[in-house]
Amino acid sequence: MYKKECVLFDVDGTLIDTEEATIEALRLTMKNLYNIEYCKEELYFAMGIPGRCALEKLNVKNIDYTLKVWGELIQKLSYKTKLYPQIEELLDILKSKGIKLGIVTSRYDFEVEVDTVLRKIIHHFDVVVTYNNSLKPKPYPDQILKAIKEFNINSKDAVFIGDTIYDYGCANNGDVDFILANWGEIDRKSNFECINFKICNKPFEILDYVIGG
């Protein structure tokens, strides 16, 4: 018997390297619409939370229109996005072992549907929980609890893989084990005051935790 029955993944910064496109699009949106200049570091907080929440933190008034412009710019910069190395192979292995796979993302439905990079791997996932106004966003556990319910499993039989403190909060509040996806160009450990969870520096390291030797 494997250590976990189910693996849940965040999308941005975990499955897909979207940081450059997302942050640059937001920077341009704020400059073009409101003539406000931000450096990239000031906008990193927007990774891992719903776009509406990010814009609220920036005190944007016309959120719906700003979201539209931001989304359009992300699409124009989509050539900058790509799957992280080992992700596709990892999903193949987990699926072949009978592990249930799910997505818990701060994206809206339409953001999942239009993503051509995500489309390459979406068939691996049995459950996809996007953000909507009926669910509280990460770090609240609403989305992860919905995924657990749809899989009809105990929370202890699942693990959530994510890259932000919001992902960790979501898992922790939902009583689900958490793994920090610490791959990519930035060492994400510095975003956490207390580290009481497993850290994987490459996607394949997840196999030891989920399947074991």
Domains of the chain: 6-17+82-210 (3.40.50.1000), 19-80 (1.10.150)
- For residue range 33-83, list pLDDT tens digits in order: 999 999 998 998 888 788 888 999 999 989 999 999 998 999 899 899 999
Decide if 137 contacts 49 (C-beta within 8 A): yes
- Paired tokens of 22: 């997302």
The pLDDT of residue 213 is 58
Neighbours of 14 (CB within 10 A): 26
How sure is the predictor about 91, in pLDDT bands with cuts at 50, 70 and 90? Answer: very high
Report the chain's C-alpha Rg in angstroms: 17
Predicted confidence (pLDDT) at residue 212 exceeds the cutoff of 80: no
* DSSP 8-state symbol, 205: G
Q: Specify which of 1-15, 108-122, 147-161 reaches the highest per-range mean pLDDT.
A: 147-161
Residue 1 has pLDDT above 70, yes or no: no
Q: 71: helix, coil or strand?
A: helix
pLDDT above 90 coverage of the chain, percent:
80
